Amino acid sequence: MKRIGMLTSGGDCQALNAAMRGVVKTLDNSKEEVEIYGFLDGYKGLIYGKFQMLTGRDFSGILTKGGTILGTSRTPFKTINDPDENGLNKVEAMKQNYYKLQLDCLVILGGNGTHKTANLLSKEGLNVVTLPKTIDNDLWGTDMTFGFQSAVNIATDAIDYIHTTAASHARVFIVEIMGHKVGWLPLNAGMAGGADIILIPEIPYDIDKVIDKIEERDKRGSRFTIIAVAEGAISKEDAKLSKKDYKKKLEKQVHPSVSYEIAAAIQEKTGREVRVTVPGHMQRGGSPCPYDRVFASRLGSEAGKLILEGQYGFMVGYKNREIVKVPLEDVAGKLKTLDPEATIIQEAKMLGICFGD
């Protein structure tokens, strides 16, 4: 008998259910008898002992279902060692609930912060296997994360829809794409949606270069310009500020986001009419695309295999088109950013896409 705990932590995304289903189906199809304990609302469920006993039937029919049947929440790693409002030691509470239920393994699905805590629990002696979830595709140790391709599809649709109204009204349109620290999502959606300008965190922009591109298109007879902006895009001036000074500037920011700041600057300098569209959490919602359904199922299956073989302390990742196991200590605390000199950036520039640099 193997007793497996399972939780989803951090922001939700498409294919969380598909990945959990992959784990459970693999375990069910083995000769091993298995009990599944689903912790509710992420690490909070593990901390406070809130869980449900689950069977294979609970994972039937969820391959195409977005979100997570276990619920999720954010439990910041930077405060994980701080006691809660009642003085409870959160790490010790998680360990006690793990041992109280006599679990053989914890399956944890999440992104960067989630993996920091997962690695901590692994170092504390718990058996842990993780799966890489995030629409940002910024987890170290894997070429791809599930949820990313589904989010690219949604963000691309948003840009596609904007094209017709932008062309009709001869406007500049900004589409703000999720991505606080990395630009994988806005880059891929921007290229797929035919954006003329893509602004990402890894390449600080010069607003004058952005305007030069808009005016260049005007001279060539293009009636409109589409700009895909990462929510974490930053100007060259702001990039020179210290973290402390930049934070102070953001606190005094009069615009709702960087996209509105850029829009105001373009309108002021050119007199052009600019509109901002923010798809927001739509990018994390809805059913997973076919790619993510297959990808998450493969990752889940490999996680089930690791559990059956008693191999713990790993994230199941994807490298060079193959599923691999990556030590948690190699993943935790590392961010996979876009190299400004990456071939995909250079190819985008050859296509005429401006990055504001």
- DSSP assignment letter at 49: T
**342 within a domain of the structure (yes/no):** no
Q: For position 51, what pLDDT does the model report?
A: 97
**343 within a domain of the structure (yes/no):** no
Determine phi and psi for 222, rounding to 5 degrees.
Answer: -80, 125
**341 within a domain of the structure (yes/no):** no
**130 within a domain of the structure (yes/no):** yes
pLDDT band with cut points at 50, 70 and 90 for residue 167: confident
- DSSP assignment letter at 289: P
Q: For position 36, what pLDDT does the model report?
A: 97
Strand ranges across the sheet with 314-319: 51-54, 34-39, 2-8, 105-110, 128-132, 314-319, 322-327
Pick the range with the lowest mean pLDDT from 49-53, 156-160, 198-202, 244-248. 244-248
Domain CATH code at residue 201: 3.40.50.460
pLDDT band with cut points at 50, 70 and 90 for residue 21: very high
The count of structural domains within the chain is 2
Q: For residue 159, what are the domain limits?
A: 151-284
Same domain, 8 and 127: yes
Cα dihedral across residues 196, 201, 206, 207: positive or negative: positive
Residue of 89, 90, 91, 21 whose CA lies nearest to 56: 21
Given 136, 138, 196, 292, the catalytic residue? 136
Q: Contact, 237 vs 246, CB < 8 A?
A: no
Max CA pair span of the chain: 71
Q: How many CA atoms lie within 13 A of 276 on its CB side?
A: 20
Same domain, 194 and 232: yes
Same domain, 13 and 137: yes
DSSP for 23-46, please give it.
HHHHHHTSSS-EEEEEETTTHHHH
Same domain, 91 and 78: yes
Same domain, 303 and 271: no
**339 within a domain of the structure (yes/no):** no
Arithmetic mean of pLDDT, 180-193: 97
Same domain, 161 and 264: yes
One-letter amino acid identity for 71? G
Instruction: Go through the chain and tell me how many residues it has.
Output: 357
Same domain, 293 and 270: no
Element (H, E) at 141: none
Question: Each residue of 326-347: pLDDT tens digit?
Answer: 999 999 999 999 999 999 999 9
Same domain, 178 and 264: yes
- Reported for 74-83, long-range contacts at CB under 8 A and 24+ positions apart, including other chains, are 74/9, 74/10, 74/11, 74/42, 74/113, 75/9, 75/42, 75/43, 75/44, 75/47, 75/113, 75/117, 76/113, 77/113, 77/116, 77/117, 77/120, 80/43, 80/116, 80/117, 80/120
Same domain, 115 and 10: yes
136 is catalytic: yes
Global pTM? Answer: 0.94
**191 within a domain of the structure (yes/no):** yes
Same domain, 278 and 299: no
Distance of alpha carbon 84 from alpha carbon 87, whole angstroms:
5
**155 within a domain of the structure (yes/no):** yes
Token pair for 195: 């954006």
**104 within a domain of the structure (yes/no):** yes
Does the pLDDT of residue 129 top 90, yes or no? yes
Distance of alpha carbon 325 from alpha carbon 129, whole angstroms:
9
Question: Each residue of 231-247: pLDDT tens digit?
Answer: 999 999 988 888 887 78
Q: For position 354, what pLDDT does the model report?
A: 98
> How does the average pLDDT of the chain come out, rounded?
95
Same domain, 54 and 126: yes
Question: Each residue of 63-92: pLDDT tens digit?
Answer: 999 999 999 999 999 999 999 999 999 999
Domain CATH code at residue 30: 3.40.50.450
Same domain, 23 and 141: yes
Residue with tokens 């994988």: 184
Q: For position 252, what pLDDT does the model report?
A: 76
